[in-house]
Amino acid sequence: MGRLLIFLALFVVGVVLLVQWQARAREQQAKETNPPTGTIITVDGTPVHYRIMGSGPDLVLLHGASGNIKDLTMNLTAQLTDRYRVILFDRPGLGWTGRLPGKSGPWNTASESPLEQAALLQKVADQIGVSSPIVMGHSFGGIVAIAWALNRPDETAALVLASAVAEPWPGELGWIYTVNGSPLGGALFVPMVSAFVPKSYIKQSIDATFAPQHAPAGYGEHIGVGMTLRRESLRANAQQVDQLRPHVVDMRQRYDALTMPIEAVHGDADTTVPLSVHAEVLMGDVPNGNLTVLPGQGHMLQHTAPAEVAAAIDRAAARAGLR
């Protein structure tokens, strides 16, 4: 029995080491394949990756869950850089931006709230001379855009919310976020996903996110899905999503302070962030909102309807007196 227990212990240790080695190898390959496209500066101990494109009034773009800067540069920025200075950020824990102090580690349970994420990115924005920006957020980036405006209501020219999380939702978000965001799941399950998740599952996940439309050719390679599959990014994304709802509940109490122009654009076929739960409800909570519904469109409007998102930005700019 003693020998058996020793054998089992050695076997478990060997499996753990194999998983961690494979995960580390995949992460290194992802970083080599997807180097930073912008600049990295360190603010309060956290490296933040940003990119500036074009010229004109300042326009901040914030990506959604599991994303990074490249998710917004594939189709959307080409519609904007001729008339805006576009500033893109990797949100904390994703892309090349690190996590806030005290939030990282496989056994950690704390996540970066939308208000904390916005505050970090605003410190970078101050350093690079961003002034009274229009702030556009997609999906999870939408609630961070709202947090940006709540942090600085007098210094935010307008908000544009594309398929944006904006209101508390009923029910649960699914077991994967709970497991990946837990201490045990973060330490044991996340490394296995990083190490061994098959390409077929990645494709299935992308297809589900884009439905009923289809992802553009080369989407996965362009955004670098391997960056999202890194252990720390998987944990950060899961914790941020899993712990989001209480923050939205609290933030909603302050929505009457969002007096700047708000343009929401949302597909009525979005099952990831449903129109009826978020954008439609938000219009009754803010004093200066306008909603554009895109029939038949799903969640990834920055790819499937970039001209309509750009038009919403132009409307926000005009209403803010910037055009």
State pLDDT tens for residues 148-181.
999 999 999 999 999 999 999 998 887 788 888 8
pLDDT of 19 reads 80
Q: Using an 8 Å Cβ cutoff, are 34 and 226 in contact?
A: yes
pLDDT of residue 172: 81
Give the per-residue pLDDT at 106: 77
Q: Of 138, 140, 119, which Cα lies nearest the Cα of 240?
A: 140
pLDDT of 296-308, one tens digit each? Answer: 999 999 999 999 9
| pLDDT value, residue 138 | 98
Q: Which candidate, 224, 252, 246, 230, places its Cα nearest to that of 111? A: 246
Report the distance separating Cα 99 and Cα 104, nearest Å.
Answer: 6
> How does strand 46-53 pair with strand 39-43?
antiparallel
Q: For residues 202 and 66, what is the distance between their CA atoms, to the nearest angstrom?
A: 12
Pairs from 199-206 (Cβ < 8 Å, separation ≥ 24)? 202/229
Q: Please check whether the domain covering 41-166+180-319 is classified as CATH 3.40.50.1820.
A: yes
pLDDT in tens, 75-108: 999 999 999 999 999 999 999 999 999 888 777 8
DSSP 221-234: HHHTHHHHTSHHHH
Among the residue ranges 5-14, 23-32, 139-148, the one predicted with the least confidence is 5-14
Structure tokens at 251: 């933030």
In whole angstroms, what is the distance from residue 54 CA to residue 46 CA?
Answer: 26
How far is the CA of 88 from the CAs of 60, 104, 219, in angstroms? Answer: 6, 23, 18
Q: What is the pLDDT of residues 48-58, one digit of tens each?
A: 999 999 999 99
CB neighbours of 43 closer than 8 A, spacing ≥ 6?
A: 120, 123, 124, 127
Which sign does the torsion angle of CA 251, 140, 321, 155 carry? positive
Average pLDDT of the residues in 227-233? 95
What SS3 class is residue 261?
A: coil
Q: Taking the domains of the chain in order of start, what are their residue ranges?
A: 41-166+180-319
Residue 87's DSSP bridge partners are 52, 60
Each residue of 178-224: pLDDT tens digit? Answer: 888 888 888 888 989 899 999 888 999 999 999 999 999 999 999 99
- pLDDT given at position 10: 65
